[in-house]
Amino acid sequence: MTITPPAAEQLRDAWDALAAGYDAHVTPLTRRLARDLLDRVDPRPGMDLLDVAAGTGAVSVMAAQAGARVVAVDHAPQMIERLRARARAEDLSNLDGRVMDGHALDLPDETFDVAVSLHGVALFPDVDRGLAELARVTRPGGKVVIGAFGPFHKVEPFGFVAGAMKAAIPGFTPPPKDPPPLPFQLADLDVLRRKLADAGLSAVAADTTTWDMPFESAAQFWTTFASANPAWGQMTAGLTDQERAQVQQVLDGMFRERSGGGPKAVIHTEVNLAVGTK
């Protein structure tokens, strides 16, 4: 199965269409991972922090709650609108959401003490350009922090769905791994380190963390997966109602096997976290 890369406008519209589901299902699960990322830079009052491809604010809100002055950007207007609503609800006047393309940030050079991107720049069609932009807007001595999926076989959400579809639908083949789909282009720690160094960063350090995601049921997992990425939605979009029911039945069996018979399960994902100094 081949997933066709969309044009920039199509990509923006696709993420816009996901914004409500992403905010409801994905952002709450991302908070623990956001904490792991922010532990690398210790956000605090007086710090200027940029969050690129911020989604609806899992990282940005947490950084602003810690007192940092945060600018959060995303190319999808609906994502930013929901981020702004979250900032208003929590009275975070130090969180500024802006619609902006991370490939070409409309921001001055050397503006931020810290620039971060969690599952954002790592998904860019031109990841090198995105990393270069993060470095450009970071002050000398400042930090750039990237979060990216680890290897495919250690990202269970994708593997669960691909496995269920392969079991339920004759002839189904998952997306090719060479070249890797965009979510996995920084899955190799050596590649991640090299690309941060190529962006002009020094003292690059990268390691992994395990992102544990608890789900009440396979149905909740399916809804979350469909809200997480337009490409993953594209993978399941062509299913008939019967095929969809068959896939969900297989997923329910996988969940019960994982949990010892109950409907709940914890799904694990390996995430690479890298820090470089400007």
CATH of the domain at 71: 3.40.50.150
Please list, in sequence order, all residues whose beta carbon lies within 8 angstroms of the beta carbon of residue 160, skipping any fewer than 6 positions away: 221, 251, 254, 267
The answer as to whether 217 is a domain residue is no
- pLDDT higher than 90, residue 112: yes
The answer as to whether 233 is a domain residue is no
Given a contact cutoff of 8 angstroms between Cβ atoms, the answer to whether 71 and 96 are in contact is yes
Q: Kindly indicate the confidence band of residue 1, based on its pLDDT and cuts at 50, 70 and 90.
A: very low
- pLDDT higher than 60, residue 82: yes
Question: pLDDT tens across 98-107, in order?
Answer: 999 999 999 9
Q: Are strands 48-52 and 95-99 parallel, antiparallel or unpaired?
A: unpaired
Phi, psi of 163 (to 5 degrees): -65, -40
Phi, psi of 203 (to 5 degrees): 50, 45
Q: Kindly indicate the confidence band of residue 149, based on its pLDDT and cuts at 50, 70 and 90.
A: very high
Residue in the structure block whose two tokens are 């690398």: 40
Q: Are strands 202-215 and 95-99 parallel, antiparallel or unpaired?
A: unpaired
Q: Where in the sequence is the domain holding 188, given as residue range(s)?
A: 8-152+179-212+270-277
The answer as to whether 37 is a domain residue is yes
Identify the weakest region by mean pLDDT among 16-20, 141-145, 170-174, 193-197.
170-174
> How many structural domains does the chain have?
1
Q: In whole angstroms, give the CA distance from residue 221 to residue 161.
A: 10
- Please state the pTM of the whole predicted model: 0.93
Q: How far is CA 91 from the centre of its chain?
A: 25
The answer as to whether 31 is a domain residue is yes
Phi, psi of 210 (to 5 degrees): -100, 125
Question: Looking at residue 3, what DSSP letter applies?
Answer: P
Q: How far is CA 143 from the centre of its chain?
A: 19
The answer as to whether 258 is a domain residue is no
Identify the weakest region by mean pLDDT among 131-135, 146-150, 155-159, 267-271.
155-159
Given a contact cutoff of 8 angstroms between Cβ atoms, the answer to whether 267 and 157 are in contact is yes
Given a contact cutoff of 8 angstroms between Cβ atoms, the answer to whether 48 and 112 are in contact is yes
The answer as to whether 161 is a domain residue is no
The answer as to whether 73 is a domain residue is yes
The answer as to whether 173 is a domain residue is no
Q: In whole angstroms, give the CA distance from residue 208 to residue 216.
A: 26
Tokens for 174?
A: 């998952």
